[in-house]
Structure 1
Amino acid sequence: MSCWRKKSKKKNSEANQRQRWFQENGKVLLEDLIELCNGKSNPIKTFSAEEILQATDNFSESNLVIRFNFMYRGILQNRPVLIKRATWNYYKSDTLEKICRDIAVSSMVSGHKNFLKLLGCCLEFEHPVLVCEYAERIPFNTPNPEMLLPWRMRIKIAKEIAIAVSYLHTALSRTMIHTDIQPFNIFVDSNGTAKLSDFCLCIAIPEGETFVKVHADRVEGTLDYLEYNYAATGLITEYTDVFSFGVLLQNFFTRTYGVVDCCCSEDESLFEEFEDKQNVMNLRISDRISKFVEEGRIFDMLDPKMLESMGDDETEEHKIRRMKAVLMLSLRCTGHRGDVPKMMEVAKELKRIERWT
């Protein structure tokens, strides 16, 4: 067989495989869209495999901007984009279903400014690929103090993500629970607008119900952000997200800045007055912050760089009062103080604190 025929046969074989993937992936995605949108049409732009490969230079390592989320930088139709490609072992189970859920929910919320906008997808790979607007992930747990966000930016991001989660809970035909609210799923565009992303673990609560229960061995998410009841029993409610958001606030506004730190902080000074340091280290950040608040040691937790960024026009007392308001709200979210608020109430409170002078 000639070299030309071999190449032609291989090309036809690849084209047939891509067509099969397109049909198989499209079927699962369509089923999810119909379920979540109550049968209403929800058109999504599709890109070819050739367009994706060209945009990413065949998924070149040099274009991989977020290794954990397998996100690549690319140029598609003369605009910068983020291209998300999950591998087969990225999730514990049901990889195809999770990616299709990510696409489906992204398509439903893309009109809202506080979600990472879905531009389309490609169904011609073994697992679908998402094409999103270009934005930068927030600098989190960075050793470079110059990259840490100032107070105004942190409170703005927190408020806008709270608005996004409120939208998931209240604005769609079914209540959607994100279940994985954590820093790595938050982006900021060139205008400084916060964007929530990654809906692969998103769960829809049936109409007329207030919860969903999954088997305990199917509980997924970021360990330190998992609400206790969900982690133990698989019960998912709006509080699942409220709790995670409370932990996000605590990580975002204290010296334990970053998910790694809150799991295994090296800052022994935070725990030096406790008799059993190992037990304290095993406590979640919510429990530790609650104890510090009880002891009136809020200043010990605050990020000095963030306090400096609040400006010279405020007294230190006033800065700490604003910080305490955020931390007390976070402790309400995690169930350590008073009644647990709805996400809409959380967003309103953050907006009030942001404007507080």
Structure 2
Amino acid sequence: MNWRRKKIRKTTEEPQRLFMENGTILLEELVKCCNGKTNPITTYSSDQILEATNNFNQSNLVGKDDCDYHYYRGTLDDDDHRLVVVKKKAYGRRSSARKICRDISVSSMVSGHKNFLKLLGCCLEFTCPVLVCEYAESITVNAHHQIDPTLTWNTRIKIARDISNSLAYLHTAFSTTFIHRNVHPRNVFLDVKGVAKLGDFRNCVTIPQGESFVREYKLEGTYGYLDPNYMSKGMITENVDVYSFGMFMLVLLSRRTPGLDDELHPDFLIRLVEDGRFAEVLDPVLLENIGDFAEAELCRMEAFFILSLRCIGLRGQVPEMMEVSKELKRIERS
């Protein structure tokens, strides 16, 4: 009987202990990233999360990434019965808690901007904290994180413009510059209104005011999307995000996978430009669906392509994200 009482006490005390430990880490990250100045963060109990996701039932699993993070569809038991996405580390290790708390911290800071995945709250009562976000779906469709082939050309341009807006905001809206460090299709989501949103700030770093870079020798990000300067020297600048975004643009244009498809290797892209064969990089589905406006749409695609090459340093000076955003807006309206 005494053993049973101790076991029950231990079970009830565990969420409290995890809440305190994770809460301490979260507070440290809030101070570090945002000087503690963020929007209020709603906290949910582990029971509420388990109820919302039906105990993380596989039927509610709507996505996963290469770092064992799983995304579950859930319904909150509140007045609105809101549909949400619950982001959980599949294999909880305490060492992951700090990165997840950074994700929560930065997400809470940018949630008022329409082009970021809105954080609704978090749960600190699991081994690794869990994020609760507005419901939106990934633009990728398979294990290689290829983008959905049904996305139209106009939708792809809009996605690029929306995400360029979010990166420009990270780079310019605060006293310190925030670098996302992992711009990748799996971290881009579409809501029911077709608005693209950037998520996942685990690898986000800040560049102090008055500085142009920080140095970090442990590489973070995704192979094929990494700025060569960052890879060789460990220098984190705004160009880290600009390069990744340029590769993301090429993925939107081609539906190919950087690092796996030779057609997206810089040497191959340079030859395409020199030979005037840019159409070889295009997703065949796009070419099939441009219809009666083929010439005008090919001009827009070429402008999109050239801008992506500028972002990855193959066409003149690398632009800042604000300039990229303005140029995408022009391409979208042309």
Larger Rg: 1
Per the normalisation by structure 1, the TM-score is 0.86
The residue matched to 1:71 in structure 2 has which SS? Answer: strand
How far 1:67 sits from its partner (Å)?
Answer: 2.5
> Which residue of 39, 44, 62 corresponds with 2:41?
44
The one-letter amino acid of 2:101's match is C
Any residues of structure 2 matched to 1:270-281 within 5 Å, and which? 281=262
8 Å CA contact 1:82–1:132 kept in 2: the answer is yes
* Distance in 1 separating the partners of 2:41 and 2:34: 13
The one-letter amino acid of 2:44's match is F
* Distance in 1 separating the partners of 2:37 and 2:298: 49
- Partner deviation per Cα, 1:235-270 (whole Å, 9 max, x = no partner): 10000000000001111102xx142xx3334xxxxx
State percent identity of aligned pairs: 50
Q: Is the aligned partner of 1:288 residue 2:289?
A: no
* Distance in 2 separating the partners of 1:304 and 1:62: 33
* Distance in 2 separating the partners of 1:32 and 1:143: 29
Q: Find the counterpart in structure 2 of residue 105 from structure 1.
A: 106
Q: Is the aligned partner of 1:302 residue 2:298?
A: no
Q: Is the aligned partner of 1:160 residue 2:162?
A: yes
* Distance in 2 separating the partners of 1:140 and 1:67: 11
Any residues of structure 2 matched to 1:231-250 within 5 Å, and which? 231-250=231-250
How far 1:30 sits from its partner (Å)?
Answer: 0.6
The residue matched to 2:197 in structure 1 has which SS? Answer: strand
The one-letter amino acid of 1:172's match is F
* Distance in 2 separating the partners of 1:155 and 1:143: 18
Call closer, same or farther: CA 1:188–1:128 in 2, change over 3 Å.
Answer: same
The residue matched to 2:224 in structure 1 has which SS? Answer: helix
Call closer, same or farther: CA 1:244–1:144 in 2, change over 3 Å.
Answer: closer
The one-letter amino acid of 2:83's match is P
User: How well do the aligned residues superpose, as a CA RMSD in angstroms?
Assistant: 2.3
- Partner deviation per Cα, 1:174-222 (whole Å, 9 max, x = no partner): 110000001000000000000100000001111211111112xx11111
Call closer, same or farther: CA 1:298–1:251 in 2, change over 3 Å.
Answer: same
The residue matched to 1:104 in structure 2 has which SS? Answer: helix
* Distance in 1 separating the partners of 2:135 and 2:256: 23
- Partner deviation per Cα, 1:101-137 (whole Å, 9 max, x = no partner): 1000000000000000000000011110000001111
Gaps in structure 1 of 5+ consecutive residues:
266-280
* Distance in 1 separating the partners of 2:169 and 2:205: 14
Q: Find the counterpart in structure 1 of residue 23 from structure 2.
A: 26
Per the normalisation by structure 2, the TM-score is 0.92
* Distance in 2 separating the partners of 1:182 and 1:81: 22
Call closer, same or farther: CA 1:17–1:214 in 2, change over 3 Å.
Answer: same
* Distance in 1 separating the partners of 2:19 and 2:186: 29
8 Å CA contact 2:140–2:147 kept in 1: the answer is no
How far 1:88 sits from its partner (Å)?
Answer: 4.7
Q: Is the aligned partner of 1:340 residue 2:314?
A: no
Call closer, same or farther: CA 1:120–1:39 in 2, change over 3 Å.
Answer: closer
Q: Find the counterpart in structure 2 of residue 86 from structure 1.
A: 89
Q: Find the counterpart in structure 2 of residue 117 from structure 1.
A: 118
The residue matched to 2:56 in structure 1 has which SS? Answer: coil
8 Å CA contact 2:38–2:109 kept in 1: the answer is no
* Distance in 2 separating the partners of 1:104 and 1:133: 16
* Distance in 2 separating the partners of 1:95 and 1:208: 31
Moved more, 296-305 or 123-132: 296-305
How far 1:81 sits from its partner (Å)?
Answer: 0.6
Q: Find the counterpart in structure 2 of residue 274 from structure 1.
A: none
The residue matched to 1:225 in structure 2 has which SS? Answer: coil
Q: Find the counterpart in structure 1 of residue 306 from structure 2.
A: 328
